[in-house]
Amino acid sequence: MGRYLVPAAWVAVAAGSVALGLVVENEQVLVIGIQVFMLAAMASSWNVLGGFAGQISLGHAVFFGLGSLITRHLWLAGSPLWIALIAAALATAVVAGVVGPPLLRLRGIYFVIGTLAMGVGVWVTVGNVRPLTTTLPLEQLRAFKYTGPYFITLGILALNIVSASWLRQSKQGLGMMAVRDDEEAAGATGVNALGHKMLAFVVSAALAALVGGTFAISTVGYYPNYPFHVVWTFDAILVVFIGGLGTIVGPLVGSAFYVIGREVLPESLIGFQPVLFGLLFITVVLLLPGGMVEGWQRIFRTRGRPTGDPPQSKTGEPGATRGKELV
């Protein structure tokens, strides 16, 4: 019974999300849905690099911004949306393939600072080169509805989740996690550490570009440098750690909690939002290093464990088994 719980939950979430887009006509609800899906997809793309490969990047917004800028330009120039999205993902993957090797040769805090410098530098440069706001053409503006961006963003989120799930179960994903846990030991067993980190870097960049494309089509007034802002990276990291670093469902859980919590926050506390979520982040990291997913797993294991004797392995040794991983 337990093995069907997670697939059933995914089907229920997907069906509920589709039904919401078909039934609800309130634009504010659709906008909140778009925000949840977009942030969850962005966090899922970052999680490939930070959660699977253990590379904490603070410049992930660069790839989100590139995908957004390229998609917006091609889309408004008359290209079909799917072609614009694919072109943006491929172009961003090429850029990641160029900047990745020198960055990934840095380790620890030097890699973190290097990616942050890249992110801030690109953000400032784009703001200086493209300072003006653009808007949709009049014909598109008149016909604009949030229903289309809602379903497109939901589709990109589904693609990111499926890609991350497949990657984590693959040989390449196992190599990434080996590098994350102990790079020197992984190298000693024949794992190409730089190659696996590069794969995570490029895949996460391409997935982030697709998410950036959803931002490009869901925004009427478009500031070219805003998608490059570091806040996109910081929000993605925040919800990954709140939901569960290295898990599949964690980015979605953290994003839903973050976006909906931000919406229901009383107006008198809006100014304290960074402080409140900062305290939440610290609390989760200290008490639940695995995020909300870890908290749910603890509850699930406690309820499913018989009282009395400690859990035993098949060989009869106490404490040798672990609860089933939910995600």
Which range of 15-29, 96-110, 265-279 scores highest in mean pLDDT? It is 96-110
Question: In angstroms, rounded to a whole number, what is the distance separating the alpha carbons of residues 236 and 225?
Answer: 18
Condensed to tens digits (0 to 9), the pLDDT of residues 53-77 reads: 999 999 999 999 999 999 999 999 9
Of 70, 62, 215, 219, nearest to 134 (Cα)? 219
- Domain presence at residue 120: yes
Question: In angstroms, rounded to a whole number, what is the distance separating the alpha carbons of residues 306 and 300?
Answer: 12
Q: What is the mean pLDDT of the chain?
A: 86
Across 221-225, average pLDDT: 89
- Domain presence at residue 204: yes
- Domain presence at residue 144: yes
Instruction: Give the other-Cβ count within 10 Å of 239's Cβ.
Output: 31
Q: Which domain holds residue 159?
A: 39-229
Q: How confident is the model at residue 9 (pLDDT cuts 50, 70, 90)?
A: confident
- Domain presence at residue 190: yes
- Domain presence at residue 102: yes
Domain count, the chain: 1
- Domain presence at residue 322: no
pLDDT of residue 315: 43
Condensed to tens digits (0 to 9), the pLDDT of residues 87-103 reads: 999 999 999 999 999 99
Cα-Cα-Cα-Cα dihedral sign, residues 220, 226, 228, 234: negative
- Domain presence at residue 125: yes
Residue 79 is classified by DSSP as: -
Across 109-127, average pLDDT: 95
pTM of the predicted model over 0.75: yes
Q: How confident is the model at residue 306 (pLDDT cuts 50, 70, 90)?
A: low
pLDDT of residue 278: 80
- Higher-confidence residue of 123 and 221: namely 123
Across 290-316, average pLDDT: 60
Question: In angstroms, rounded to a whole number, what is the distance separating the alpha carbons of residues 138 and 326?
Answer: 48
- Higher-confidence residue of 318 and 274: namely 274
Which residues, listed in sequence order, are joined to residue 221 by a DSSP beta bridge?
135
Question: In angstroms, rounded to a whole number, what is the distance separating the alpha carbons of residues 89 and 212?
Answer: 9
pLDDT of residue 321: 36
- Domain presence at residue 142: yes
pLDDT of residue 268: 67
Across 263-287, average pLDDT: 77
Q: How confident is the model at residue 301 (pLDDT cuts 50, 70, 90)?
A: low
Of 197, 208, 216, 177, nearest to 40 (Cα)? 208
Q: What are phi and psi of 148, to 5 degrees?
A: -60, -55
pLDDT of residue 303: 59
Across 229-258, average pLDDT: 92
Across 289-311, average pLDDT: 64
